[in-house]
Structure 1
Amino acid sequence: MAQDHDHTHGHRHDHAHGHAHSHRHHHHVDPDAGDRRVAAAVAVNLLLTLAQIVGGVISGSMALIADAIHNLSDAVSLVIAFGARKLSRKPRDKEMTFGYGRAEVVAALVNYVSLVVISVYLFAEGVSRLFNPPEIAGWTVVVIAGIALAVDLVTAALTYAMSKDSLNIRAAFLHNLADAATSVAVILGGAVILIWDWRLIDPILTIAISVYILWHALAEVRPVIRILMLGTPEDVQTDELSAAMAEVAGVESVHHVHLWQIDERRRSVEAHVVVAGTPAPVLAAIKRMLRERFDIGHSTLEVERPGQGCAEEDAPRPAV
């Protein structure tokens, strides 16, 4: 039984696929420039957190300290994203034979889960305040929320271009956008309280923001979970892929097809291919078709002869 593991191509593919990817995404950010942007965003958020804690202690405002903790969560989400970016560029080794690309997917999951937790907490806080509207110092709230909004918008601007190209950075970017939306709502709420003294606006806006954040986080986390669950790429149907492989000249049939997304940029397939003639040119043709038509550069193909039967089906099953 012949086996063809496309290892030599794996190295060429990582390089070639990188080029193909950058051509598809014209907004592709240089990794070092991207790192500098994320680092700047972290620094800005940490400075704001420090300023708010100092301001909160001096003015005795609990709201200010709570907002400082919120901004600290922004900085932490960016630190997680930054660390994952660095780790994902490590070359593959004996322990991680697919490389470290999924570090970004894991970081995105962590950040989305924390967003869900934050939104549930905000919802609960909003509901409790509906029944017991707090005394709110309008001017203090408006000024501080204005500063926080400015910082959130700077952070969002620093990470926006990169968020289109990375699940990981998009999670951190949404974290910031959620914070910016909170700040806008707080400013509106403070203004309404100053003008009409209608204190219910604060909890109503809090509930609205929490639902908005939750909706976004749940929508964005789906592709992340799909990758971690070894799901197929969203733009490729397994049946269509199997049919295309079976149509290659020299292929009698294809079975045991497994297709999955390694990380955001790489996909892989393994399959058993029944070949009547010489396997080498047939396998080369399949690999070429997979690259050109489905953008799959990593393929492991096992050759079987007609009528031979599948080795995996013939193997004795382990006792359960």
Structure 2
Amino acid sequence: ILVGLYLVYEAVRRIFEPEPLLGGWIMAAAGVALVVDVVTAWLLWSMSKGSLNVKAAFLHNLTDAGASVAVLLGGAAIYWLDWTWVDPVITLIIAGYILYMSSGMLKKTSRILMEGTPPELSVDEIKEALEALDGIENVHHIHVWELDEHHRALEAHVVIGEARSMEELESLKATVKTYLEEHFSIRHSTLEMESSGENCESKNQSSCQ
């Protein structure tokens, strides 16, 4: 984002303070950069779907490749047509694209850092699904978040209908964890089991922590 904003600043400055440009050198530099960007993007393509970091690197190289093409065409226009105004215009286009792509990546990264609920999951849907399982009366204090782009986590208080032995509680807890993983891809869950008469929600909301 900072790079995009800097490019906007430079483009605006060049509109009001034009500088002499060498179209031939611009084309040569853009051509070399294009080859490097295409090769790097091709190497990252196969890995870009498995990691947010690699995807960011791939998009960065893809953006660089597109920018190199634009600069190459701009250099040709400057060299043969003496269109110096093309330089700030292309810079603004590249800056706009960088800002657009970066904003989407920043949104997803911020959600992970702030432990926000993944957009494709609904807390109400998870609550309803868990309460439909045998032996569960109520589920409250639900928090769902992403540890990274591949791992989701959940914490919740689970109210059971009747007193159970430790073995039965562990079995029910395992059932809930398996259900969460199979239906919502939540592999990390922390469950606090409560009896119907002693659950924190019915006694005191402030104790549900």
Partner of residue 117, structure 1 = 2
2:122 pairs with 1:232 = no
Q: Which residue of 2 aligns with 1:280?
A: 170
Which whole-Å CA distance do the structure 2 matches of 1:169 and 1:266 have between them? 16
Q: 2 CA distance for matches of 1:264 and 1:132?
A: 45
Report deviation, 1:241: 0.4
Which one has a bigger Cα radius of gyration? 2
Structure 1 CA distance, aligned partners of 2:56 and 2:7?
Answer: 19
- Root mean square deviation of aligned Cα: 1.9
What is the CA distance between 1:274 and its match in structure 2? 0.9
C-alpha contact (below 8 Å) 2:159/2:199 kept by paired residues: no
Counterpart residue number, 1:213 = 98
Question: 2:198 corresponds to which letter in structure 1?
Answer: Q
Q: Provide the C-alpha distance between the structure 1 equivalents of 2:8 and 2:187, rounded to a whole number of angstroms.
A: 45
CA distance in 2, matches of 1:314, 1:226: 26
Q: What is the DSSP-based 3-state SS (H/G/I as helix, E as strand, rest coil) of the residue aligned with 1:262? A: strand
Structure 1 gap segments, 5+ residues each: 1-115
Unaligned regions of 5+ residues in structure 2, if any? none
1:240 deviates by: 0.3
The 5 Å alignment of 1:28-39 reads: none
What SS does the aligned partner of 1:302 have?
strand
Alpha-carbon distance between aligned partners in 2 of 1:201 and 1:233, rounded to the nearest angstrom: 42
Amino acid at match of 2:81: W
CA shift at 1:234, angstroms? 2.5
- Matched with 2:20 is 135
**Bigger proportion of residues as helix:** 1
Letter in 1 for 2:63: A
Aligned partner (choices 179, 191, 204) of residue 76 of structure 2: 191
- Kindly report which structure 2 residues correspond to 1:66-77, keeping only aligned pairs within 5 A, or say none: none
Q: How many residue pairs get matched? A: 202
Residue of structure 1 in register with 2:185 after alignment = 295
Say if 2:132 is the partner of 1:247: yes
The answer as to whether partners of 1:133 and 1:203 remain within 8 angstroms in 2 is no
Instruction: Quote how far apart the aligned CAs of 1:314 are.
Output: 6.3
Code of the residue aligned with 1:122 in structure 2: it is L
- The residue matched to 1:199 in structure 2 has which SS? coil
In structure 2, distance between residues paired with 1:132 and 1:309: 70
Contact 1:248-1:285 within 8 A present in 2 as well: no
Instruction: State the percentage of identical aligned residues.
Output: 45
TM-aligned CA distance change 1:262 to 1:312, over 3 Å: farther
Kept in 1, the 8 Å contact 2:137–2:161? The answer is yes
CA contact (8 A) 2:77 2:86 kept: yes
